[in-house]
C-alpha cells in the first residue's frame, strides 16, 4: 500500500503544485496590493471584534476554529520532517509560502463568507464546495471537491494527528499506542457528538492557550541560546538558496519540502480554512478574510518558526557536518515524528522536553482532529442537502473515530503519506477554483476599504456591487442589514 501511496503523491506533489502554491500566492499578493502587509493592524483589530449569534460564531471563535485546523502536528513533527529532508533552508520556504499564502487565505475565506448558506439547524455553513457551485455554476466540480474533502479530512488527515500524539506519548512516558488510541477516541467522541457549538467553544479556549505556551517556551530556549540565533538565521538563508556547502545539493528539496510542509501546516489555498471562515457572524465578508489571513502568520511565522529555532539552535538536529550532507540523529521516529522537538526542549531540563512537547502536541493535534470533523461534516451536509442525513452523519462520526484509532497505531510514514495525498488533492481543486473566482473577493476588499476611508463600519450589499448568488446577504440574513449608503444598483465597483 505504501508504494502505491508514494506513487500517487509523486504525481500530486509534482513541481507543478509546488510552484503553483508560490505563484498563486504572489499573484494574489499583487492583486490585493499586499493586503497582508497593508492590513496587518486591521487584522489584529478585527480579530477581537464581532459577536456570535444563533446562526454564527464570533470572529475570534472562527479564527480559533481555523487555527485548530491549521496548528497541529505539522507545526511540530512537520517542521522536523521538512528540515530532515530539505535541510534548514526549508524553513525559509515555509516562511515564504506563509507570507504569500496570507493573501490566498484572504481570497478563499472572503469567498466562503460571500457564498455561505444556513443549514437545516439555522447555522452558517460554507466553503469551497459552496462558492464553486454558486459563483462558478459547476455543480460537478463542487461535488468533486466536497467528496475529496470528506475523504481527506474524514479519513486521511486525522490519522497523521493521532499518530503523532501516540508517538509523542510513547517517547515521553512509554505509554502503549493502543492506550493512547483509546483516550483519543473517548475525547473525540465527546466533542464531535456535541455539535459545532461545542467545537467552537473548545477551540476558543484551547487554541490560544496552547499556542501562547508553546511560543513562550521557544522564546525561553532562544534566550538561553541567544548567541546561536544569528548563526541559525544565517544557516536558514544560506541553505535556502543553496549557498551552504553542507546543503547545496538539496536546494530543490528545500523548496519542495518547505512548500509541502508549509501548505500542510498553514493550509493556505488548501480549502480547509474557508469552512471556519464561513461560520463567522460579520457585517462584511472582507472582515473574516482579514482575520483568516492573520491566522497564517500565527501558524507559520510564530508556531512553526518556534519549532524550527528550537531544533536548530539547540543542536537537536545536527547541521554541522564537515564531510557534507545531512546528519540525522538516531532518534525514534525522528524523520516523521516529534522526537527532534522533544530533544530540543529537553535542553531546558532533562526529561522536561519530552513531556512538554507531548502535552503540547496532544492539544495541537487533537484540536486539529476536531476541526477536521467539522470540515468533513460541512461537506457531507453540502452533498446531502436534500437528503435526510442522521444516519450518514452518524456513519461519518463512527468512521472518523475508527480512523483515529487505527492511525494511532499504524506506521508514521504511511500516516504522513496518506495525509499528503489528502492535502494535495484539496489544494489542486481549490487553487484552480479561487483563481477563476477571485473577482468577488477583490471587489469586496475594495468596497471594504472604501467604506473604512469614509469612516463607516463596513457592511455588505452584494447586488449593489454586481455580485450575484450571495443569497443570504441579498436577503439580509447574513451579518445584519446591507449598507446604509450602498453603491447605486446597477453600478458595481469597477474591476480591480
Angle between helix 139-151 and 412-436 (nearest 10)? 160
Closest CA to 73 of 465, 452, 361: 361
Model pLDDT for residues 379-402, shown as the tens digit of each residue = 999 999 877 677 899 999 999 999
Mean pLDDT value across residues 16-33 = 92
pLDDT at 337: 56
Average pLDDT of the chain is 83
Model pLDDT for residues 218-277, shown as the tens digit of each residue = 888 878 888 888 989 998 998 888 766 555 555 578 888 888 878 777 778 889 999 999
Cα separation of 244 and 170, whole Å?
A: 35
Higher pLDDT, 293 or 357: 293
End-to-end CA distance of the chain: give it in Å, rounded.
48
Instruction: Judge whether residue 442 has pLDDT over 50.
Output: yes
Cβ proximity of 98 and 294 under 8 Å:
no
| Nine cell digits for residue 127 | 466553503
* Collapsed DSSP state (helix, strand, coil) of residue 214: helix
Closest CA to 259 of 416, 23, 97: 97
Cα separation of 249 and 261, whole Å?
A: 20
State the burial class of residue 101 (Cβ atoms within 10 Å of its Cβ: 0-12, 13-18, 19+).
buried
Helices of type H across 71-120: 77-86, 89-114
| Nine cell digits for residue 432 | 484552480
Q: What residue ranges do the domains of the chain occupy?
A: 2-474
pLDDT band at residue 57 under the 50/70/90 scheme: confident
- Which strand (E) or helix (H) includes residue 295? helix 285-296
pLDDT at 70: 77
Q: Which distant-in-sequence residues (6+ apart) come within 8 Å of 402 by Cβ? A: none
Cβ proximity of 143 and 386 under 8 Å:
no
Cα separation of 197 and 199, whole Å?
A: 5
Cα separation of 276 and 59, whole Å?
A: 10
Closest CA to 276 of 125, 122, 72: 125
Q: Residue 144 CA to chain centroid, in angstroms? A: 21
pLDDT band at residue 329 under the 50/70/90 scheme: very low
Model pLDDT for residues 334-363, shown as the tens digit of each residue = 444 577 788 778 877 777 878 888 888 888
Cα separation of 159 and 177, whole Å?
A: 13
pLDDT at 447: 98
pLDDT band at residue 180 under the 50/70/90 scheme: very high
Positions of E strands within 409-476: none
Say which range, 193-207, 315-329, 481-495, has the weakest mean pLDDT.
481-495
Tracing cell 535542553 back to the chain, one arrives at 347
Closest CA to 92 of 31, 33, 22: 22
Q: Which distant-in-sequence residues (6+ apart) come within 8 Å of 56 by Cβ? A: 62, 123, 124, 279, 280, 281, 282
Q: Which CATH architecture has domain 2-474?
A: Up-down Bundle (1.20)
Cβ proximity of 25 and 104 under 8 Å:
yes
Count Cα atoms within 13 angstroms, Cβ side, for 176.
3
| Nine cell digits for residue 465 | 456591487
pLDDT at 494: 43
Cβ proximity of 69 and 270 under 8 Å:
no
The sign of the dihedral angle between the CA atoms of 392, 397, 398, 400 is positive
| Nine cell digits for residue 421 | 495525498
Positions of E strands within 300-393: none
pLDDT at 77: 76
Instruction: Judge whether residue 48 has pLDDT over 70.
Output: yes
pLDDT at 256: 84
* Collapsed DSSP state (helix, strand, coil) of residue 57: strand
Amino acid at each position: 500500500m505504501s508504494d502505491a501511496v508514494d506513487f500517487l503523491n509523486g504525481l500530486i506533489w509534482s513541481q507543478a503544485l509546488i510552484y503553483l502554491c508560490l505563484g498563486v500566492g504572489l499573484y494574489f499578493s499583487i492583486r490585493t496590493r499586499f493586503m497582508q502587509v497593508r492590513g496587518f493592524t486591521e487584522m489584529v483589530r478585527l480579530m477581537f471584534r464581532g459577536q456570535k449569534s444563533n446562526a454564527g460564531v464570533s470572529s475570534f471563535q472562527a479564527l480559533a476554529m481555523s487555527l485548530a485546523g491549521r496548528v497541529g502536528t505539522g507545526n511540530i513533527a512537520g517542521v522536523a520532517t521538512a528540515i530532515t529532508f530539505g535541510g534548514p533552508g526549508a524553513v525559509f520556504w515555509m516562511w515564504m509560502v506563509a507570507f504569500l499564502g496570507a493573501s490566498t487565505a484572504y481570497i478563499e475565506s472572503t469567498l466562503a463568507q460571500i457564498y455561505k448558506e444556513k443549514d437545516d439547524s439555522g447555522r452558517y455553513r460554507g466553503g469551497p464546495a459552496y462558492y464553486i457551485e454558486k459563483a462558478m455554476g459547476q455543480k460537478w466540480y463542487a461535488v468533486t471537491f466536497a467528496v475529496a474533502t470528506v475523504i481527506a479530512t474524514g479519513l486521511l488527515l486525522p490519522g497523521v494527528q493521532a499518530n503523532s500524539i501516540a508517538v509523542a506519548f510513547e517517547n515521553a512516558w512509554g505509554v502503549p499506542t493502543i492506550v493512547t488510541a483509546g483516550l483519543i477516541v473517548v475525547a473525540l467522541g465527546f466533542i464531535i457528538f456535541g455539535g459545532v457549538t461545542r467545537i467552537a467553544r473548545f477551540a476558543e479556549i484551547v487554541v490560544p492557550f496552547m499556542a501562547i505556551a508553546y511560543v513562550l517556551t521557544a522564546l525561553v530556549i532562544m534566550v538561553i541560546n541567544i548567541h546561536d540565533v544569528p548563526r541559525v538565521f544565517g544557516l536558514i538563508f544560506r541553505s535556502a538558496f543553496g549557498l551552504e556547502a553542507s546543503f547545496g545539493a538539496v536546494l530543490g528539496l528545500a523548496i519542495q519540502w518547505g512548500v509541502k510542509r508549509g501548505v500542510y501546516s498553514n493550509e493556505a489555498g488548501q480549502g480547509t480554512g474557508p469552512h471556519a471562515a464561513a461560520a463567522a457572524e460579520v457585517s462584511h465578508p472582507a472582515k473574516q478574510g482579514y482575520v483568516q489571513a492573520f491566522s497564517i502568520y500565527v501558524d507559520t511565522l510564530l508556531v512553526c518558526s518556534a519549532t524550527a529555532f528550537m531544533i536548530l539552535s539547540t543542536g537537536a538536529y545536527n547541521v554541522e557536518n564537515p564531510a557534507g550532507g545531512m546528519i540525522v540523529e538516531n532518534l525514534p521516529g525522528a524523520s516523521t515524528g516529534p522526537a527532534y522537538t522533544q530533544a530540543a526542549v529537553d535542553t531546558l531540563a532533562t526529561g522536561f522536553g519530552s513531556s512538554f512537547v507531548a502535552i503540547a502536541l496532544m492539544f495541537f493535534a487533537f484540536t486539529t482532529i476536531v476541526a477536521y470533523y467539522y470540515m468533513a461534516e460541512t461537506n457531507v451536509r453540502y452533498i446531502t442537502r436534500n437528503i435526510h442525513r442522521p444516519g450518514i452523519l452518524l456513519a461519518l462520526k463512527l468512521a472518523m473515530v475508527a480512523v483515529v484509532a487505527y492511525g494511532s497505531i499504524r506506521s508514521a510514514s504511511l500516516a504522513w503519506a496518506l495525509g499528503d495525498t489528502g492535502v494535495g488533492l484539496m489544494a489542486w481543486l481549490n487553487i484552480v477554483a479561487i483563481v477563476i473566482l477571485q473577482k468577488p473577493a477583490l471587489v469586496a476588499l475594495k468596497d471594504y476599504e472604501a467604506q473604512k476611508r469614509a469612516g463607516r463600519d463596513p457592511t455588505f450589499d452584494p447586488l449593489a456591487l454586481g455580485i450575484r448568488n450571495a443569497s443570504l446577504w441579498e436577503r439580509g440574513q447574513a451579518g445584519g442589514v446591507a449598507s446604509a449608503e450602498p453603491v447605486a444598483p446597477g453600478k458595481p465597483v469597477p474591476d480591480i
